[in-house]
Amino acid sequence: VWENCLNYIKDNIPEDAFSTWFLPIRPAKINGNILTIQVPSKFFYEWLEEHYIKILKSALQRELGSEAKLVYSILMDQKSQGRDPYTVRIPSSNKEKPQPQEVDTPIQLDKSRLMNPFVIPGLQKLKIDSQLNPNYTFDNFIEGESNRLARAAGRAISKRPGGTSFNPLFIYGGVGLGKTHLVHAIGLEVKELHPDKTVLYVSTEKFTQQFIEAVKNNNQNDFIHFYQMIDVLIMDDIQFLSGKAKTQEVFFHIFNHLHQRGNQIILTSDKSPADIQDMEQRLISRFKWGLSADLQNPDYNTRLEILKQKLEKDGIIFPDEVMDYIAQNIDTNVRELEGSLNSIIAQATLNKREITLELTARTLSKLVQTARKEISIDYIQKTVCEYFKVSMEDIQSKTRKRDVVQARQLAMYFAKQYTKASLASIGSQIGKRDHATVLHACKTVKNLQETDKAFRGYIEDISRKISD
């Protein structure tokens, strides 16, 4: 039966695809109108389901009648055992009626007989530029309560890339907390300890651009092959895959391939896997396979240590009280800490002044003021409009369209949060409403923020946009 199916399929799809995806399949058993086939991996199963289900279905129906069913038996590789059931039973001809999950004992096949579709025989080890910044080392990365877990996991991975259960390692946290620094440090250390491993750092934006370019030039396969050959793939700011279905799909396949072969994957994001919006569920679930570790705002001592290290590197000495003042007052993130330090040094140098507490306080308060000054109600409205793709006219109008109402309420809420304007003044500037409407908007937003995860995501995104 399977032989006949294969002959039919062979005539209907490109030869490459046939040998890649159908030759490795083994017929396992047939029971009435149910055919069980054995596939090398879950990835294989998913790929077949996604790309070849139609042809499989018609081949099967030709052989076994319209009630034909297909059962996949997945030959697991060891490292994924225990995570997935051996057999995923799916009705191929009648998707509405889900069949009960059936666990078959997999037939142990001689592994060498299975073809791996992506291993190109005779391929040389690649030499690539890892794109790592030599300054972002573990030595320069101050350890603190806020980063202890992520750092320790990173260290463990550097010793045994792909050999720990931290695969993928998913590091998340707000802007400026050290995600990029930490993943570079891991990459550098891997290269030092395992010079034979191919390490690649890539920002998600660059990955996306490369993929778009590859599609345009019709060399997607080269793109995929390239990434599938990396031993340690570091992808920064994975949240930028949000809403990019095609790129998500190609990343999904690369991820599966790498993971299956025990190659290390390291990802960073500004949100936890569960909080990323517009991302395919199957990707989110894979992000959680290994270890998710967050980076938090550094505590006072860590901030002080970081300041000391930066100054030492530049050969500058600040009075203790100045150090204390900065560490006390700049408690947002490391990038701002560095920014403040640079401003103070610049102020002192420009004005040929000594670095005193007074100069420091003045410089920092100016920094805070300029940051605040730019946030006007107008700016908030623009940001919210842009985010929700509604126009300023809409917000100012009387319309009650749901998305406009939501944008309007959020603009009011943020105006209250970020400016000193009164409720009445906010109302008069946003859609000529009264102060009660603004108050109501603020309450609604706060409620939704507590009860609605997606909404919370919007608020976080927008406040980040407004304040950066």
Does 147 bind ligand ADP (CB under 6 A)? Our answer is: yes
Q: Which does 181 bind (CB under 5 to 8 A by kind): ligand ADP, Mg ion, none?
A: ligand ADP
| Contacts to ligand ADP from residues 283-322, by CB under 6 A | 306
Residues near Mg ion (CB under 5 A): 179-180
Phi/psi of residue 202, each to 5°? -145, 140
Is the CB of 268 or the CB of 437 nearer to Mg ion? 268
Q: Minimum CB separation from ligand ADP for residue 142, in Å? A: 4
180 belongs to an annotated ligand binding site: yes
Angle at 177 between CA 176 and CA 179, to 5 degrees: 95
Is the CB of 141 or the CB of 458 nearer to ligand ADP? 141
Q: Minimum CB separation from ligand ADP for residue 220, in Å? A: 29
Q: Minimum CB separation from Mg ion for residue 183, in Å? A: 8
Q: Which stretch binds ligand ADP (CB under 6 A): 27-35, 114-122, 139-147, 214-222?
A: 139-147
Is the CB of 44 or the CB of 287 nearer to ligand ADP? 287
| Contacts to ligand ADP from residues 395-454, by CB under 6 A | none
Is the CB of 116 or the CB of 133 nearer to Mg ion? 133
Q: For residue 86, give the nearest of 105, 114, 107, 109 by alpha carbon.
A: 105
Report how many residues bind ligand ADP under the rule CB under 6 A.
Answer: 15
Is the CB of 141 or the CB of 201 nearer to ligand ADP? 141
Q: Which does 408 bind (CB under 5 to 8 A by kind): ligand ADP, Mg ion, none?
A: none
Is the CB of 337 or the CB of 407 nearer to ligand ADP? 337
**Residue nearest Mg ion, CB atom distance:** 180
Q: Which does 176 bind (CB under 5 to 8 A by kind): ligand ADP, Mg ion, none?
A: ligand ADP
* Residue in 48, 142, 185, 438 binding ligand ADP, rule: CB under 6 A: 142
| Contacts to ligand ADP from residues 166-205, by CB under 6 A | 175-181
Q: Minimum CB separation from ligand ADP for residue 208, in Å? A: 18
Does 338 bind ligand ADP (CB under 6 A)? Our answer is: yes
Q: What is the 3-state secondary structure (H, E, C) of the chain?
A: CHHHHHHHHHCCCCHHHHHHHCCCCEEEEEECCEEEEEECCHHHHHHHHHHCHHHHHHHHHHHHCCCCEEEEEECCCHHHECCECCEEEECCCCCCCCCCCCCCCCCCCCHHHCCCCCCCCCCCCCCCCCCCCCCCCCCCCCCCHHHHHHHHHHHHHHHCCCCCCCCCEEEECCCCCCHHHHHHHHHHHHHHHCCCCCEEEEEHHHHHHHHHHHHHCCCHHHHHHHHHCCCEEEEECHHHHCCCHHHHHHHHHHHHHHHHCCCEEEEEECCCHHHCCCCCHHHHHHHCCCEEEECCCCCHHHHHHHHHHHHHHHCCCCCHHHHHHHHHHCCCCHHHHHHHHHHHHHHHHHCCCCCCHHHHHHHHHHHHHHHHHCCCHHHHHHHHHHHHCCCHHHHHCCCCCHHHHHHHHHHHHHHHHHCCCCHHHHHHHCCCCCHHHHHHHHHHHHHHHHHCHHHHHHHHHHHHHHHC
**Residue nearest ligand ADP, CB atom distance:** 178
178 belongs to an annotated ligand binding site: yes
Q: Minimum CB separation from Mg ion for residue 52, in Å? A: 39
Q: Minimum CB separation from ligand ADP for residue 302, in Å? A: 7
Is the CB of 177 or the CB of 330 nearer to ligand ADP? 177
Phi/psi of residue 198, each to 5°? -90, 120
Q: Minimum CB separation from Mg ion for residue 157, in Å? A: 18
Is the CB of 49 or the CB of 338 nearer to ligand ADP? 338
Q: How far apart are CA 338 and CA 204, in angstroms?
A: 25
Q: Minimum CB separation from ligand ADP for residue 290, in Å? A: 19
Residues that bind ligand ADP (CB under 6 A): 140-142, 147, 175-181, 306, 334-335, 338
Q: Which residues are annotated as a binding site?
A: 176, 178-180
Q: Which residues are annotated as a binding site for ATP?
A: 176, 178-180
